[in-house]
Structure 1
């Protein structure tokens, strides 16, 4: 296939499906966000330590991390359209358990159900986004991922306006969100199944174009390793901001839980905005260029964040949030184009690794905070974005804009 015809061969975008799966991603990650949003409540009502809170996030994320590549690998062999609503049903059970758990072990079991639901949703949801994308892969993945990041951004608001006033049982309100998600995903699954049947009947193999030059297996392996290191650094940092930065704001700036959560909300909202713009920018300027921009800009700002006055915190959170998450959807597409025959596996690996790194990060950060204190932990975490500079060694891709 010639480069000039690449965009045409990739087909037309199916926008209703692109947006619908993005909305469902918002629902799915809103349910996940109930967990970090509940941390201040659990610390006060249940007397949990930072380490115990970190273990809750570990259980949630490690289940999703381990199972996502497995689900992706299986779906590459045999796509599973109706797995999407089944995953949301698992999340429904998890939220019900979270709302009414009276013991610590019950909370851990409940988050396993949430993690299982997330493990099913993410690789299959990413596959639907890829199938609906046509020639707009960056845009489609951005719409999909911005839905998820918007759901994550709701965590501080969930904490401030639902869980703090209503306590642990306030999480039961999110059973409504899960129910709507089950309905929408059932409808999307019908489209998904029809697409697979049409492809089978026409006996056609979908063209999978990569913007990357031909690479050897060794080069692909090195590039994937570098990508995993980038995801590691970003996930550790975001996990700290989502789960534990609130305690830094409360301890060092004397902010209330509600006011502190609004600061986290600003960081996450700008992260969602960055996620949205990252995909189209990567289509136009190249995947590697956007990944580099995403990692280079936040480095000095992250390093000074623990030391600045409160008025500067807001400004830095805006810039860091936007640029750090600019590459979130781009790393998924980049991995898929490194191994274009394994779309589900690559989605599961990249997003699953993000969950896994978040899981390990939550435990390590919790332990650090218990042993060296909140402030010193924030200083240690501020150096993590430096690791992302390994992106300089990634293979350079061709700009999709030049392929039209």
Structure 2
């Protein structure tokens, strides 16, 4: 019985943030329904939640790598987003460049900015806070110069569809406009048919995601057992997979009731999958944790800490460029105010998701959970009509509580 109790305590401790997230979701659902504002779990709201907070997940994924190196952060990412959006607007809208070459140039610009920061941080040894603070001012200024204080819009549909389309893409609008003029019965029949196709395809994709998730978890568990690492009990493991698959199917069903699977969700899944594998299953990824745990010991062990720091910040520039393109497509414009305080949401997502303020601890999955938590806070308070100033105050308090929890937990662990 004692073994079961210890296993339960370990499970609860390892999934604390998930339970808190569920509690917050239920809390907002009760408030929203109670005030007659609709439902937090309405299909349209789930779609909006994904689209509106995609950039937070993307930024949090890159920010985690910086935080792992010792609690370091990048304050410039909001300005980089603005600058990348400005470059995209100038190339695609003003100069009429093809979309794909323009996207490649934007990614190169972001990566180059990250390498600029990484060089001074890793090799000149300027503190990351100071270096990225200067970058926040510098790149925002460059963006304002390029934009001339004006907003560039609209982007062509070829650019917008890369980030804003849905699976399956049924190209419904043109056909229904023509049909509606000819026959309302044919119009509604086509709408019903496309709704059925959307439901079936989305659920099939959800089932495939469940299969891939379970297969990946089984392979990871088998690998750990072969290497002699401790793993959770079979019952706990299976229970976790059942719950995870149930969540995937529920989200898939809700999305199928609206427009289908947002393409941006596919992009997020690819980014999260790649960085999860990199941090957890590769030697360079583990170097990030080693530096955050004890930089001097990592250096004495043969880890080139300067190169690892350079990579972390170069990668952050690349990730910020991706987020900049997503924001430009979401807003259908490149504006001087885009990206303001975005870095704060990304940093908060990582700390709320379990990353340590001292570095060396945290996962990509945790950062994603933190980003979802921030998105639920933003979305729930917006639906309830909470003033924007109060929203900032609440998010600031939540961040403080997350860091306090981390510090207190570390003190308790060190005292044992």
Same fold (TM over 0.5): no
* Rg (Cα) greater in structure: 2
TM-score calculated relative to the size of structure 1: 0.33
Q: Which is helix-richer, 1 or 2? A: 1
TM-score calculated relative to the size of structure 2: 0.32
